[in-house]
Amino acid sequence: MPKKEVIKEITPKLIQKLVDQVNKLEENIELINNELKENVELINENIRKIKEEITIYKEQTEETIRTQEDIIISMVHKFNDQFLLEKNKIISDLEAVKTQFDVMKISFTVNENQLLEKLRTMIRGELKNVITGKEDEILMKLWIDELKQIILNFENLKKVHPKEFNLQIEEISNTIEVFKQKLQGS
């Protein structure tokens, strides 16, 4: 800064100098003001461009998000549709297998019953062939076994109470009576 001069007297030259300085100052102010206006305009223009870019970026991002959402939703629907098709196919296959299993179960039961009946018939036939002519011998063996059992039980009867003894004797008597009838029938 220039040194301050002490004014001793006001002269026209001094006034002119002051006027020139004021004019120069006004010009400088005007220049600075114009520069500021230009800078403000540039800043405003840059802000406007940035806002436009942000808006464009926002729109592009939203569009990308919408597109991705649509793709994901489409994929989910496709997956659900495919899942339902597979599920229905599996259920249908399970029902078919269950039906086949039920049919096989029924067939097995029928075949089992038929096989058992054939085996019974074969065994009866074989037993008849083996027993034919030996009925008396087999009956005798059965009666002998029964008599052995009675004799073994008779020893135990000696130790029994008299009323129970009478019941056991009656049972033995009935068994012997059955043997007699069988012998007479043969």
Could you tell me the residue ranges of all domains in the chain? Answer: 134-186
Q: Which residues make Cβ contacts (< 8 Å) with residue 186, sequence separation at least 6?
A: 135, 136, 139
Using DSSP, state whether 185 is helix, strand or coil: helix
Answer whether residue 35 shows pLDDT above 60: yes
Answer whether residue 1 shows pLDDT above 70: no
Mean pLDDT of the 129-145 span: 78
Using DSSP, state whether 186 is helix, strand or coil: coil
The pLDDT assigned to 5 comes to 59
Q: Which residues make Cβ contacts (< 8 Å) with residue 7, sequence separation at least 6?
A: 14
Answer whether residue 179 shows pLDDT above 80: no
Please state, in angstroms and rounded to a whole number, the distance separating the CA atoms of residues 186 and 102.
52
Which residue in 127, 128, 124 sits closest to 116, CA to CA? Answer: 124
Answer whether residue 186 shows pLDDT above 70: no
Band the pLDDT of 146: cuts 50, 70, 90. Answer: confident
Lowest mean pLDDT among 54-58, 79-83, 93-97, 175-179: 175-179
Please state, in angstroms and rounded to a whole number, the distance separating the CA atoms of residues 87 and 8.
110
Residues 51-92: pLDDT tens digits? 999 999 999 999 999 999 999 999 999 999 999 999 999 999
| DSSP 8-state class, residue 161 | -
Answer whether residue 4 shows pLDDT above 70: no
**Mean of per-residue pLDDT scores for the chain:** 86
Lowest mean pLDDT among 6-20, 80-94, 97-111, 112-126: 6-20
Q: Are the beta carbons of 63 and 56 closer than 8 angstroms?
A: no
Mean pLDDT of the 133-152 span: 77
